[in-house]
Amino acid sequence: MSNSSQFDALRAEDIIYEDNHLLVINKRPGLLAQSDVSGDPDALTLGKDYIGRKYNKPGAVFLGLVHRLDRAVGGVMILARTSKAAGRLSAAVREQRIRKMYRALCMGPRKIPDGELVDRVRKDERTRMAVADVDSEAGREARLILRSLEPAPAQLGRVTAHDASPEFTYVGCLYEIELITGRFHQIRYQLSSRGMPIVGDVKYGSQHALPGVQLALFCTGLQLEHPVRREPLSLTAPLPEWAQTDGEVRQ
């Protein structure tokens, strides 16, 4: 199903930060990061349209994709307005100099202990899923740091079950995640492989859903050095309701 009418342009509230070198947006869930064969709207094209309109640029607008968010994932996404910024930010991503923070709401039979999760994974081109691969050269290290938070009871109460096994008592967990590497579907794989799939992630075994939320995973913030001015940048997006802790809801 096309999202063309929903994503016809970037809105003012989608812009987190903007200068001569960067355009940082709060990508809405359901919006592609970049164009694909579906022809559906994508963040990169909408960003170019936004720059062209705002600055009255008649020709082609340069905008570089620095990193991607899955279509169903919302949150902070950086686009580079100059080739210099694009090159330096791409190097920062490769060298793991950008701190990437996420939140995920999960349901499973038992909590995953806080700490570092390390796996070797690869992308299965046939299923388009991340799979374990400890033996071949295709396997690449996947690392993240996990910290459990106190989810808001009202949000947990909205979670519905479908085909959930009656032999398990499911617990809801809200996790703060620092993504060290950036492998294909990494967070989704590492949580689901430990018995805690993200709510809504049917592809990775979730048996729970949250009304109006396709996938309960959100990029909450990025911390980095500005690629040109060399100043620290801390970029955050407003949390969706499901991603707020009990204390954050009460504030």
Which of 142, 143, 148, 153 is closest to 111 using CA atoms? 148
pLDDT at 1: 41
> Maximum Cα–Cα distance for the chain, whole Å?
62
CA separation for the pair 118, 156 (Å, rounded): 28
Structure tokens at 225: 């050095």
Does residue 200 have a pLDDT over 50? Answer: yes
Question: Domains (ranges, CATH) in the chain?
Answer: 1-95 (3.30.2350.10), 99-237 (3.30.2350.10)
What is the separation, in whole angstroms, between the first and last Cα of the chain? 37
Residue 168 pLDDT greater than 70, yes or no: no
pLDDT tens string 33-86: 999 988 899 999 999 999 999 999 888 999 999 999 999 999 999 999 999 999
Enter the tokens of residue 153.
Answer: 């009871």
**Do residues 63 and 47 lie in contact, with contact meaning Cβ atoms separated by under 8 Å?**
yes
Least confident piece of the model among 84-88, 99-103, 164-168, 243-247: 164-168
Q: Which long-range contacts (CB under 8 A, 24 or more apart) does 154-160 make?
A: 154/249, 155/105, 155/210, 155/241, 155/242, 155/244, 155/249, 158/210, 158/211, 158/242, 159/105, 159/107, 159/199, 159/208, 159/209, 159/210, 160/208, 160/209, 160/210, 160/211
Query: For 126-163, what is each residue's pLDDT tens digit?
Result: 999 999 988 888 899 999 999 999 988 888 889 998 86
What pLDDT score was predicted for residue 141?
95
pTM of this structure:
0.93
The one-letter code for the residue type at 128 is R
